[in-house]
């Protein structure tokens, strides 16, 4: 029993997160110095993302047979993303108005950050720039085109053998790198606590609590309902991806576990082509956690500055966020660029209010990343079931494995 615990990745990631919190809290300078451990781990994982997307989509499309189905899956995914992220925006606004996390906040007591690099942010996000800068989307499009071309090639079988061979060793390499997850989680958590400190949470504690509770409700009520529609337990799914969730928690990055999520979704019964299309697209267009945070942050700032938003302004906010929350994916500082853009568009909330959020934004990034991560997993399962490209027998087998990392 003891041997099994000490060989379990979940145990070591939890241990690393706890150790990182303690080091960052009691020895802040040493905690900040641990940043490279988290950063380099994420950088290494990023090396696997695009090859896995390419291999998964090409082999998936070639194995699907009917190319019309590829377009159908993509269309349904985009429609699903728009509906669910809009619901997330509305929930964020609703909770913000209901619980008023910004009411009575003493701005003098809050540590303020420098917003100079955000104050000149453009009011809209350039979609041309988005596609130019987002390598994941470029690889996704390249993979789709390649899959279609190869599926019609006379040398299809020979080419696919090379793809399957490459896929085998890419995933084997990923499994080895994932053994370093505790080190990455330790570095990420030690840096966050060491740099920002737990004390920064106190003045904005109500906002933090509202964000975390809202995202938890969204996961279990909204996403849980989506899963229940096809008689799948959200709890069992979360248990199945618990290692990945802990890695996202420790590193504050959904990228750190994205390749592993794709593998697990395929292993639990989602067709390879659905996984390859939905997960990478969702990474850019299905940001449920980000949508909740952005809408709630705007309501929070309005309450801090005692600004009453009328219905026209609320509709404007929703409209802007429906576009920019997707178009800014992958852009450094995108959260604050979106907030600055929205504040500039409404012209009723001081843009300087962003400074209040800088101190606690890092602590809320974990909630955003985890919600985005789960949301993309649920989206893939929903689309796979809806297209009858889901193997329930594989799901039951995957859910009941004692060690879900042992494939």
pTM summary value? 0.85
- Which pLDDT score, from 0 to 100, does residue 326 have? 65
Q: Which residues contact 121 (CB under 8 A, 6 or more apart)?
A: 336, 337, 340, 341, 344
Give percent of the chain with pLDDT exceeding 70: 85
State the Cα–Cα distance between residues 11 and 292, nearest whole angstrom.
30
Q: Which two tokens stand for residue 143?
A: 């993979």
Pick from 249, 243, 185, 188: which is nearest to 16 by CA?
185
Residue 73 has pLDDT above 80, yes or no: yes
Question: Looking at the predicted structure, is the pLDDT value of residue 223 above 90?
Answer: yes
Tokens 């899963």 — which residue? 227
Q: What distances in angstroms separate CA 177 from CA 3, 30, 67, 275, 316, one per listed residue?
A: 22, 25, 34, 21, 45
pLDDT tens for each residue of 12-44: 888 999 999 999 999 999 999 999 998 899 889
Question: What mean pLDDT value characterizes the chain?
Answer: 83
**Which residue would you say has higher pLDDT here, 226 or 65?**
226
pLDDT surpassing 50 at residue 407: no
Q: Which of 252, 362, 219, 361 is nearest to 301 (CA)?
A: 361
pLDDT tens, residue by residue, 326-345: 655 555 456 676 777 777 76
Q: What is the mean pLDDT of residues 279-287?
A: 85
Q: pLDDT grade, residue 46 (50/70/90)?
A: confident
CB 61 within 8 A of CB 50: no
Enter the tokens of residue 218: 């969204």
Mean pLDDT of 261-265: 93
> Measuring CA to CA, which residue among 374, 383, 168 is closest to residue 270?
383
Q: What is the predicted pLDDT for the residue at 192? A: 85
Query: Domain 2-399: what homologous superfamily?
Result: Sodium:dicarboxylate symporter (1.10.3860.10)
Average pLDDT for residues 151-177, to the nearest whole number?
Answer: 88
- Cα(106)–Cα(351) distance, integer angstroms: 17
Instruction: Give the integer Cα–Cα distance in Å for 363 and 337.
Output: 18
- Under DSSP, the state recorded for 107 is G
The mean pLDDT of 361-386, rounded to a whole number, is 91
The DSSP code sequence of 4-72 is HHHT-HHHHHHHHHHHHHHHHHH-HHHHHTTHHHHHHHHHHHHHHHHHHHHHHHHHHHHHH--HHHHHH
Quote the CA–CA distance of 62 and 70 in Å, as a whole number: 10
Sorted by sequence, the CB contacts under 8 Å of residue 319 that are 6+ apart come out as none
Please name every residue paired with 270 in a beta bridge, in sequence order, or none if there are none: 390
Nearest CA to 391 among 224, 260, 267? 267
What DSSP assignment string belongs to 256-314?
A: GGHHHHHHHHHHTTB-HHHHHHHHHHHHHH--HHHHHHHHHHHHHHHHHTTPPP-HHHH
Residue 390: strand pairing partners = 270
Contact in structure between 324 and 125 (CB atoms under 8 Å): yes
Q: In the chain, where are the structural domains located?
A: 2-399
Region 234-245 average pLDDT: 94
């Amino acid at each position: 029993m003891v041997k099994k615990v000490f060989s379990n990745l979940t145990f070591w990631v939890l241990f690393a997160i706890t150790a990182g919190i303690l080091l960052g809290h009691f020895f802040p300078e040493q905690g900040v110095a641990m940043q490279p451990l988290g950063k380099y781990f994420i950088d290494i994982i990023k090396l696997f993302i695009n090859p896995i997307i390419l291999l998964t989509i090409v082999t998936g499309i070639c194995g699907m047979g009917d190319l019309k189905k590829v377009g159908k899956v993509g269309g349904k995914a985009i429609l699903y993303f728009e509906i669910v992220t809009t619901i997330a925006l509305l929930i964020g606004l609703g909770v913000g108005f209901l619980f008023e996390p910004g009411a009575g906040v003493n701005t003098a007591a809050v540590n303020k950050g420098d917003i100079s690099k955000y104050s000149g942010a453009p009011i809209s996000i350039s979609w041309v720039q988005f596609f130019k800068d987002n390598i994941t989307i470029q690889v996704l499009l390249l993979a789709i085109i390649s899959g279609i071309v190869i599926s019609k090639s006379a040398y299809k079988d020979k080419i696919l053998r090379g793809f399957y061979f490459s896929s085998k060793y890419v995933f084997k390499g990923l499994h080895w790198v994932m053994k370093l997850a505790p080190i990455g989680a330790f570095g990420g958590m030690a840096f966050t606590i060491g740099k920002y400190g737990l004390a920064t949470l106190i003045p904005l504690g109500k906002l933090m609590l509202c964000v975390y509770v809202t995202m938890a409700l969204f996961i279990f009520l909204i996403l849980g309902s989506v899963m229940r529609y096809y008689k799948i337990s959200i709890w069992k799914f979360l248990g199945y991806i618990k290692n990945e969730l802990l890695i996202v928690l420790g590193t504050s990055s959904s990228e750190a576990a994205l390749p592993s999520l794709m593998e697990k979704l395929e292993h639990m019964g989602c067709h390879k082509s659905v996984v390859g299309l939905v997960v990478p697209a969702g990474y850019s267009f299905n940001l449920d956690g980000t949508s909740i945070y952005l809408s709630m942050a705007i309501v929070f700032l309005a309450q801090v500055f005692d600004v009453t938003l009328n219905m026209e302004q609320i509709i404007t906010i929703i409209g802007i966020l429906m576009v920019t929350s997707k178009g800014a994916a992958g852009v450094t500082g995108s959260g604050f660029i979106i907030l600055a853009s929205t504040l500039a568009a409404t012209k009723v909330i001081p843009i300087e209010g962003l400074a209040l959020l800088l101190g606690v934004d890092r602590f809320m990034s974990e909630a955003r990343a985890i919600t985005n991560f789960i949301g993309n997993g649920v989206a893939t399962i929903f689309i796979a079931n809806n297209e009858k490209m889901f193997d329930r027998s594989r799901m039951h087998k995957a859910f009941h494995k004692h060690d879900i990392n042992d494939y």
